[in-house]
Amino acid sequence: MAKGNLLIVDDNKSILSALDILLSPEFQTVTTLADPNLIPSELRKKEYNLVVLDMNFNAGINTGNEGIYWLGRIKESNPEISVVMITAYGDVELTVKALKAGATDFILKPWDNAKMLATLKSALQLNLSKKEVSQLKEKEKGLKSEINREQKFIVGSSPQLMQVLNLVRKVAKTDANVLITGENGTGKELIAQEIHRLSNRSNEVLVSVDMGAITETLFESELFGHMKGAFTDARESRPGKFEVADKGSLFLDEIGNLSFHLQAKLLAAIQNRQISRIGSNQPVPVDIRLICATNKNLENMVREGLFREDLLYRINTIQIEVPPLRERGEDVLVLADFFLKKHASKYNKPNLKINQPAQEKLLKYNWPGNIRELQHTVEKAVILSDNNVLKPEDFFMRPVSTLQNHATGFTLEEMEKRMINQAIEKNQGNLSAAAEQLGITRQTLYNKMKRFGQ
C-alpha cells in the first residue's frame, strides 16, 4: 500500500509532470510546485515526509545556492523531513555542501527511474524512522510524569467496599468503558487505579487527567497534543494524554465539569479511536481503555441539556458507585490508623495512638469530605500533638453530625431516612423515580436503603 506524502519543487514543469506520473503510484500523495516561494505555505498546509528539491531555479544560474537556501528553510520548519536534492550539474563540492546542510541524498538529471524510486523509498523510510523515534521520546516525557505519581492504596474491609471491589474484579479484565460515581473524596481515582492494575493493560501506563483543572483553551492541546509552532507558546511538539495512554488506560476525572461544546470533541476521539494534534491533519490511532469519574448526576445533567446523552452512553458501559465514608462503618478507624502511621513517620512522631474516646468521635462524625477530609484531620492532629496519645480534643472537625434540625428535632441522618421514605412513597415504590427526585443514582439509593435497613 502506497504511503508517505511527497512534495516536488522544480521550476521545469515538464520535469514536474514526469515525476508526478512516475511517483504518484508509489506514494500516498504527490504535490508539485514550480515556485519555491510557495514551499513555506505548503508545508503549513500538509504534513510531508519527503521533499524532492531542485538546486537551481533561475536561468543561467547553476551555483546551487538557491537549493541550499530552500533546503535550510525546509529543515528549519521540520528537521525530520527528508530532502532529496536534484540537479543537472554533477559537482562533488556542491553535493557535499548540500549533505552538510541536511540533505538526505542527491539525484542527477537525467535520472534512472529505478534508482530514483530506490533513493526516494530509502529517504521515506529514514523519515518514518525519525518520526517514530521522536514520538517515542515525546511519549517518554509524558510517561515519566505519570509513572512518578505517588503510589496509593485502597484501605478498608467493610461490606460496602468489598461489594465495589468485587465489581471491579469482574470488569477489570474487559475493555469496557467504566464510569465511577460518588461524592468528593471517596477515592474514585483509587478505584480507577485498581481497575487498571487488574486489567490486561497493567503493564502499560494509566494516564490521569483532571477535567475540572483544564481550561477550555488548553483542552485540545492537553488531550490531543500539538505540533511545534501550532500556536504562540508551542516551542516543541508534544503528545496529548490520549497518545501517552496508548495501549494503556486513560482516566478522565471530574468529567461532569467538561463544557458542552468540548464534549463533542471528546466523543469524536472516543468513537473514532484516533486523534489529530493541533497543527497537524495527520490522524493518530489510539488504543485506550477509558475510565471516567464524576461526583455529579450525569443523567440529571442530560435532562437539563448540560451533558451529551450520546457521550454518557459511550462512557457508561459499566457504572461503579463508590460509597461515602459515613456508610463504611469501621473502615473509618482502619483508615485513620493508616493515615496516622503515614503522617507520624512523615513528621517524625513515632508511637502515636488514638485513644478510645477519640475513636468514638471519629466514628460518630458524618465526614462530608469523606476520606480526603479524614486524612487532613488526622494529619492536622499529628502536627499539633504534644503527646503520644491522641484524644478527642486533638481532632478538629466541622460539627456536622451533631447538628440538629431545630424545627423538627431530627438529626441529618434521620432526615435523610425520612426523605427517602417520602420519595419512595410519593413514587409508589418506583425506586428509579424516587432516586431521580432525590437527585441521586439508583445505586446510591439502594446503598442508603440497605444502610437504613429499608
Question: What are the domain boundaries of the chain?
Answer: 5-132, 159-321, 325-394, 412-451
Distance CA 281, CA 445 (A): 47
Q: Which amino acid is located at 171 in the chain?
A: V
Number of neighbouring beta carbons within 10 Å of residue 193: 21
Start-to-end C-alpha separation, the chain: 65
| CA distances to 229, 367, 374, 376, 382 from 343, in Å | 45, 20, 12, 10, 7
Quick one: pLDDT at residue 285?
Answer: 93
Residue whose grid cell is 460518588? 182
DSSP state of 278: B
Measuring CA to CA, which residue among 416, 401, 326, 321 is closest to residue 371? 326
pLDDT for res 2: 62
Is 5-132 a CATH 3.40.50.2300 domain? Answer: yes
In the block, which residue shows the cell 470533541?
Answer: 265
How many of the other CB atoms lie within 10 Å of CB of 219?
A: 19
C-beta atoms surrounding 248 within 10 Å: 21
Answer whether CATH 2.30.40.10 is correct for domain 325-394: no
Is residue 190 within 8 A of residue 152, CB to CB? The reply is yes
pLDDT of the residue at 150 = 54
Looking at domain 412-451, which of 1.10.10.60, 3.40.50.1970, 2.70.50.60, 3.90.25.10 is its CATH number?
1.10.10.60
Closest CA to 33 of 63, 57, 68: 57
Is 3.90.1010.10 the CATH classification of the domain at 159-321? no
On the question of a common fold for 159-321 and 412-451, the answer reads: no
Whats the size of the chain, residue-wise?
Answer: 454
Pairing of strands 318-321, 289-294: unpaired
Closest CA to 187 of 328, 312, 298: 328
Tens digit of pLDDT per residue, the chain (454 long)?
567 899 999 988 999 999 999 999 999 999 999 999 999 999 888 889 999 999 888 765 667 788 899 999 999 888 889 999 988 766 667 778 888 888 999 888 888 999 999 999 999 988 888 877 776 666 665 555 555 455 577 999 999 999 999 999 999 999 999 999 999 999 999 999 999 999 999 988 899 999 988 888 889 999 999 888 778 777 788 889 999 999 999 999 999 999 998 999 999 999 999 999 998 888 899 999 999 999 999 999 999 899 999 999 999 999 999 999 999 999 999 999 999 999 999 999 988 999 999 999 999 999 999 999 999 999 999 999 989 999 999 999 876 544 344 444 455 667 778 888 888 877 777 888 888 777 777 778 877 787 776 6
